[in-house]
Amino acid sequence: MLTGRGSTGITTGATLSELIRRPEMDYDALAPLDHERPFLPVDVAEQVNIQIKYAGYIKRQFAQVEQFRRMEAKLLPEDIDYSAIQGLRLEARQKLAAIKPRSIGHASRITGVSPADVAMVVAYLQWG
């Protein structure tokens, strides 16, 4: 049944939700494998497909939002000396010193300050 729909076969057990995650599979296509599944209206079945297929992406997005909130809450000292931070690129040092961001989140949004630069600032604050 799986190979007939252009999917690879399985050699071990798999849940129906794992099969639905495959691009070529969906709730309706798996009906022959699950005789006890309820009939769902088309729009509800589509929501089931979307929620299962994109659950990992949605989870990562929520994690990114939470990380952003933490970065916004992490305030930078007003007297931080960016020239003392080893590994920080010259452009990032200049921009950070000129703009004086209030938080890690603010620093991460400055043009010319890379994620690696922000990581260096965070490491400097943690370990000096």
| Tens-digit pLDDT profile for residues 1-29 | 788 778 888 878 888 898 899 889 899 98
Q: State the total domains in the chain.
A: 2
Contact 111/75 with Cβ under 8 angstroms?
no
pLDDT of residue 66: 92
pLDDT of residue 12: 84
Same domain, residue pair 65 and 90? no
Same domain, residue pair 41 and 101? no
Beta-bridged to residue 95, according to DSSP, are none
pTM greater than 0.85 (yes/no): no
**Which domain CATH number covers 44?**
1.10.10.1800
> CA-CA distance, 114 to 17, in Å (whole number)?
38
pLDDT (average), residues 53-62: 92
Residue 38 amino acid letter? P
Same domain, residue pair 47 and 89? no
Same domain, residue pair 63 and 86? no
Domain end, chosen from 49, 71, 93, is at 71
Same domain, residue pair 16 and 62? yes
**Which domain CATH number covers 84?**
1.10.150.570
For residue 11, count CB atoms less than 10 angstroms from its CB and return exposed for 0-12, middle for 13-18, buried for 19 or more: exposed
Residue 104, pLDDT above cutoff 80: yes
For residue 103, count CB atoms less than 10 angstroms from its CB and return exposed for 0-12, middle for 13-18, buried for 19 or more: middle
pLDDT tens readout for residues 59-77: 999 998 998 888 888 999 9
> Which residue range forms the structural domain that includes residue 37?
3-71
